[in-house]
Amino acid sequence: MVRDPGDHLEVAASRGLGLEAPAELVPGEGRRGLRRNKGAIIQAYTQPVPAPRVICLAELGPVSAKTSPGAVWKAGSGRATFAPDDGRRGNIWVLGAFEPATGLATTRCSPRRDSASFMQLLEQVLPTYPAREWVLMTDNLSPHLSRETPTALIAWPEVTLLFIPTYACWLNLIEPWWKQWRSLALKGRQCEGVDEIIEAVVEATAYWHAHRYPSIWKKAV
């Protein structure tokens, strides 16, 4: 009998029967925690008055000093007349607070996004929105989770800080407001430096205050 030259090779055992069941991408307890957090956020938005004032916090940026396209292209000989602008004339971060129930908004500018600037925003927000209790919504950025934040909040026991779950920015109602505010501040505007960005920030926030309206939670619970 002729021996098959491949007989001496060892065939690996089937691996299909020995595979462990795939782990859950999000453990059950984590999913329950996410649902609890989401439920607390939605309840804060939909709670009847009187209730704690709900303020949404976030940062926008860095905003670069450059020329931003307008709403309409200018007529030309078949080509766009807007020249690309790389915006290498400085940049700045815009920190904002937005109250969905009233549409009241507050902005401030900072050269960086860090714990110190977030503390300055809190110090500005609480006197601007006087209340007996506050619920502040924000995301899980490291400046918001630093040790300085809970230390500072010791002085404000009336403040409850709710963190938006990761990949759920739609729960923070300041995000759609940023889109409107950015259009007011930058669309069709040419900024030659940081000072002009700050001027645009102030003007856009003042215009919003004159025409503000509330943001109502409309998603199904």
β-bridge partners, 134: 53, 159
| Gap between the terminal Cα atoms of the chain | 75
> Can you name the CATH fold of 51-72+87-211?
Nucleotidyltransferase; domain 5 (3.30.420)
Per-residue pLDDT reduced to its tens digit, 183-213:
898 887 777 788 888 898 999 999 999 999 9
Per-residue pLDDT reduced to its tens digit, 16-68:
333 333 334 344 444 554 556 777 888 788 877 667 899 999 999 888 777 77
Q: Which residues contact 165 (CB under 8 A, 6 or more apart)?
A: 34, 37, 38, 140, 171
Every domain of the chain and the residues it spans? 51-72+87-211
Phi, psi at 84, each rounded to 5°: -55, 145
Give the pLDDT band of residue 106 (cuts 50, 70, 90).
Answer: very high
CB 109 within 8 A of CB 90: no
Residue 160, class by beta-carbon neighbours within 10 Å (0-12 exposed, 13-18 middle, 19+ buried)?
middle
Q: Where are the alpha helices (DSSP H) in 47-173?
A: 115-128, 142-145, 148-153
Phi, psi at 61, each rounded to 5°: 145, -170
CA atoms within 13 A on the CB side of 161: 20
